[in-house]
Amino acid sequence: MKRVIVGLSGGVDSSVAAYLLKEQGYEVIGLFMKNWHDDTVTISDECPWLDDSNDAMLVADKLGIPFQTVDLSTEYKERIVDYMFNEYEQGRTPNPDVLCNREIKFDVFLKIAENLGADYVATGHYCRKAKVVSDGKTYYSLLAGIDKNKDQAYFLCQLSQQQLQKALFPVGELTKPEVREIASSLGLVTAGKKDSQGLCFVGKVRLPDFLQQQLKPKEGLIVEIPKENILYKQPEPEFNSEEEELQYMARKIEYAENDGKVVGKHQGAHFFTIGQRKGLAVGGTPEPLFVIHTDVDTNVIYTGQGDKHPGLFKKALFVEEDELHWVRPDLALKPGESMKVKARIRYRQPLQKAALHKVKTGLYVAFDTQQPAVTQGQFVAWYLEDELVGSGVIS
């Protein structure tokens, strides 16, 4: 009998995942990951991980499976939290959920599971896995979940073949309502529990509050750039190669204070991200202001009015070679090669038509249409049909 360790988070998805695996005849063990207990940065008195671990224990009890808690907070701090603060200080916007899967759930956690004699680890992610044979070799493909509204393959876009080989995603074949229905019929305490929206480590804490306790506030200027600015009216230069044109499309516009007017003050450029609208506290403009650029060196935030402001859009982005990851290494492009794909630059974004262009230094993703709020530090993921084949960090 194959042994599976399920990461029981205290939510409904992982609860049902554990039940389904047991029904399929696996020997199932539930493990709750405690990733955080630094009380200096807990915002409220409630301690969400205690509730969650309690719910996970009740579920394991109900399903009649062994249960234990593992404390991964040291690794979590080193691999996720420190990385996040470092990224924010550099003015980039990391995606801790993608990293948490690559570094914690399918690495640290996987090693613990293997030490417990597990053949697989399972999570409550809405995605699927399949086997593909290419050139006589077996590869694992990462497919979108059946429930298009809940598809979470994006969060696993950094997994390797070794990690995928050991992973099971039992709820990927179901829709969220079906999962809730199973949980209710079993009388699981998690059946009606709301989905957690917080970071995967600080429970119900909001990211800006968390950041503010770690990064020192530093007053700076908010500058508004008008839509009509000359920066957006430049004629396109002549290009000698496709790569030059891609470089031009993916370039960052360099703003200076005198390109616009000062409209307010903020408490630190590193608290803001491209496309952000809330938290600027500048009123009196006909349309709301959106962040179009942050400069952490000069501590200036550049903004533009309305969600159609030209400073918010880009047709291409670049991923540096060492930030490039192919879930399916057999499909990796060589310099000079290109591939038509569908891509997304954030979790909830509908897939966009795009082309990948491999160059020596990395990879360009050129979209058919302009994309809003392309954000440094976030992950771009690309798909063939409903298979996620690769991803990278937007540079």
> Which own/partner contact pairs does 175-182 have at CB distance under 8 Å and 24+ positions apart?
175/146, 175/147, 175/149, 175/150, 176/126, 176/147, 176/149, 176/150, 179/12, 179/13, 179/16, 180/12, 182/16, 182/19, 182/20
**Enzyme catalytic residues:** 100, 200
Task: Name 7's Cβ contacts closer than 8 Å, sequence gap at least 6.
Answer: 14, 31, 32, 33, 105, 109, 121, 122, 123, 124
Q: Is 145 within 8 Å of 153 (Cβ atoms)?
A: yes
- Tell me the one-letter amino acid at 333: L
The enclosing H or E element of 89 equals helix 82-89
199 phi and psi angles, rounded to 5 deg: -65, 155
| CA 216 to each of CA 88, 210, 219: distance values in angstroms, whole numbers, following the listed order | 12, 12, 10
Structure tokens at 146: 């059946």
End-to-end alpha carbon distance in the chain = 46
CA angle at 339 for the pair 335 and 342, rounded to the nearest 5°? 135
The side-by-side arrangement of strands in the sheet containing 261-266 is 261-266, 220-224, 300-305, 289-295
| Strand 137-144 with 167-168, pairing | unpaired
| CA 303 to each of CA 229, 258, 260: distance values in angstroms, whole numbers, following the listed order | 12, 13, 9
Structure tokens at 381: 């993921």
| Ordered alpha helix ranges (H), 157-206 | 161-165, 176-185
